[in-house]
């Protein structure tokens, strides 16, 4: 691979903004890619993938490069040169790479690879938390898996197509996919591509949704005609899936505390041809209370640490703080106690997170069952999806019935 100066410089700029300013990697990359209209798809994927890679391996690379935050531009070039050396990419003869100690980089890599927190590049506190909650053996495997680049999985929108037809349509647009066994609506891209540019996407034939995430709506046992409340709907990944499973019949009320996310949900619903979704912003407790005892099904796709989706969101490793996880656990329990009251007697509720920590998952459900509201519920089944076992995101889901 030959390195192009403007692509490397754009990557360094993006890294400076992510590491030193603290902006989100996806937003920074999106902005960086708009900088030069002449960049083709290979140029764009170089910038995006290299930036994500260096974000993912920040601790390991910085340790090898012997640099500390906040990084100067010179430091970032040193980190970049570690990335090149470890990938076997020939360094160009630019002044920024002069005197790069190639042998020393390889030696330090071998040495640091013996220690998990460096090898897998995580902060000390996170390594300790994961190991304490999951056990050393499972955490080691899981962390390794969460450091792999996530595959691109899409969900065929059954309101408009079938996975088979969609695969053919995408093939005509130059995108090859394969079916995923045991995931009835999913297709996986054989090669990464910007699928948002396809006509099939603009026509609402699919949504990008990880395979594990596609398990959540299925878990809720919805049927056409039901009244379903999606309490933490965000931009609607699961809401749209619910609408498809309900064949557009019945009613879905999508709630969130952020109105802008619900606006995006509406846009996506229009594209998907999902007509049975109402959105309501939770701007007071009244919004929830009005819905008490009205729903056949409730989904609580709770805010969480997001540790199960590190492979698609590697900068969370550096942005997450232990206090955030502590606070989010309180929110999760509070939400469970309040939003569960939306359910009618005999109705079913799914509590889900994209976390792999038992303290956000099964332990929260057990705590909830011991509360006054929780005593009305029975745990029907629960499922923990580990990335190391499934090859996709880490998720947790529990199905509860109101007796
Ligand atoms: C895991 S995300 C939801 C993802 C979404 N369901 C999807 O499938 O795309 C959690 C959502 O909960 C929302 N949220 C956070 N606190 C909340 C609260 N107290 N009540 C309702 N929603 C909340 C966040 O804004 C976020 O959109």
145 backbone φψ class: left, alpha, beta (φ>0; ψ -120 to 50): alpha
214-402, what's its fold? Rossmann fold (3.40.50)
How does pLDDT run across 39-96, given as a tens digit for each residue?
A: 998 999 999 999 999 999 999 999 999 999 999 999 999 999 999 999 999 999 999 9
Residues in contact with 326: Cβ distance below 8 Å, sequence separation at least 6, in sequence order:
none
How does pLDDT run across 102-140, given as a tens digit for each residue?
A: 999 999 999 999 999 999 999 999 999 999 999 999 999
How does pLDDT run across 302-350, given as a tens digit for each residue?
A: 999 999 999 999 999 999 999 999 999 999 999 999 999 999 999 999 9
C-alpha 64/C-alpha 155 separation (Å) is 40
pLDDT of 1 higher than 90: no
Q: Which among 281, 229, 286 has a CA at the least distance from the CA of 260?
A: 281
The answer to whether 283 is annotated as binding is yes
Which residue, chain included where needed, has tokens 């070039």? 77
Q: What is the mean pLDDT of the chain?
A: 97
Active-site residues, by number, are: 354
C-alpha 303 – ligand 1 centre gap (Å): 5
Mean pLDDT across the stretch 387-397?
98
Domain spans of the chain?
5-121, 153-208, 214-402
How does pLDDT run across 13-32, given as a tens digit for each residue?
A: 999 999 999 999 999 999 99
Task: For ligand 1, pick from 257, 286, 360 the residue to mutate: most ligand atoms within 8 Å of CB.
Answer: 257
pLDDT at 258: 98
Contact 217, 302 (CB under 8 A): no
pLDDT at 148: 96
C-alpha 227/C-alpha 218 separation (Å) is 16
ipTM of the prediction:
1.00
Banded model confidence at residue 182, pLDDT cuts 50, 70, 90? very high
**Which ligand 1 atom is nearest residue 234's CA?**
27
C-alpha 33 – ligand 1 centre gap (Å): 28
* Shortest-distance Cα residue to atom 1 of ligand 1: 303
pLDDT at 172: 97
Give strand pairing partners of 188.
153, 178
Q: Which among 342, 328, 346, 334 has a CA at the least distance from the CA of 400?
A: 346
Does ligand 1 come within 6 angstroms of the Cβ of 207?
Answer: no
153-208, what's its fold? Alpha-Beta Plaits (3.30.70)
* The two three-digit tokens of residue 281, written as one number: 């912003």
Task: For ligand 1, pick from 267, 303, 304, 308 the residue to mutate: most ligand atoms within 8 Å of CB.
Answer: 303
Q: pTM for this structure?
A: 0.97
C-alpha 214/C-alpha 187 separation (Å) is 11
């Amino acid at each position: 691979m030959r390195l192009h100066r403007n692509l490397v410089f754009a990557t360094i700029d993006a890294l400076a903004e992510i590491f030193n300013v603290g902006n989100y990697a996806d937003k920074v990359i999106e902005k960086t890619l708009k900088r030069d209209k002449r960049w083709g798809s290979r140029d764009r994927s170089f910038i995006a993938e290299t930036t994500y890679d260096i974000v993912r391996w920040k601790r390991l690379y910085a340790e090898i490069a012997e640099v500390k935050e906040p990084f100067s531009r010179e430091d970032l070039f040193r980190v970049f040169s570690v990335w090149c050396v470890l990938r076997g990419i020939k360094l160009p003869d630019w002044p920024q790479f002069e005197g790069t100690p190639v042998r020393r980089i390889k030696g330090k890599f071998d040495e640091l690879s013996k220690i998990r927190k460096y090898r897998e590049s995580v902060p000390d506190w996170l390594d300790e938390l994961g190991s304490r909650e999951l056990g050393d053996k499972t955490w080691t495997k899981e962390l390794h898996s969460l450091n792999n680049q996530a595959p691109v999985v899409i969900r065929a929108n059954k309101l408009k197509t079938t996975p088979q037809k969609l695969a053919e349509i995408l093939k005509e647009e130059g995108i090859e996919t394969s079916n995923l066994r045991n995931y009835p609506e999913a297709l996986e891209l054989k090669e990464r591509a910007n699928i948002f540019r396809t006509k099939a996407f603009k026509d609402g034939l699919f949504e990008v949704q990880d395979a594990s995430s596609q398990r959540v709506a299925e878990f809720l046992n919805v049927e056409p005609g039901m009244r379903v409340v999606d309490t933490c709907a965000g931009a609607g990944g699961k809401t749209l899936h619910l609408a498809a499973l309900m064949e557009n019949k019945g009613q879905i009320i999508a709630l969130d505390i952020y109105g802008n996310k619900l606006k995006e949900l509406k846009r996506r619903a229009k594209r998907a041809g999902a007509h049975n979704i109402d959105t309501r912003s939770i701007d007071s407790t009244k919004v929830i209370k009005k819905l008490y005892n009205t729903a056949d099904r409730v989904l609580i796709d709770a805010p969480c640490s997001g540790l199960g989706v590190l492979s698609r969101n590697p900068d969370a490793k550096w942005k997450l703080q232990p206090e955030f996880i502590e606070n989010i656990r309180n929110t999760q329990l509070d939400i469970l106690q309040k939003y569960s009251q939306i359910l009618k007697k005999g109705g079913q509720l799914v509590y889900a997170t994209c976390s792999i920590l038992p303290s956000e998952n099964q332990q929260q459900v057990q705590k909830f069952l011991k509360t006054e509201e929780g005593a009305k519920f029975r745990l029907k089944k629960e499922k923990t999806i580990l990335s190391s076992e499934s090859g996709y995101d880490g998720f947790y889901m529990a199905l509860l019935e109101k007796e």
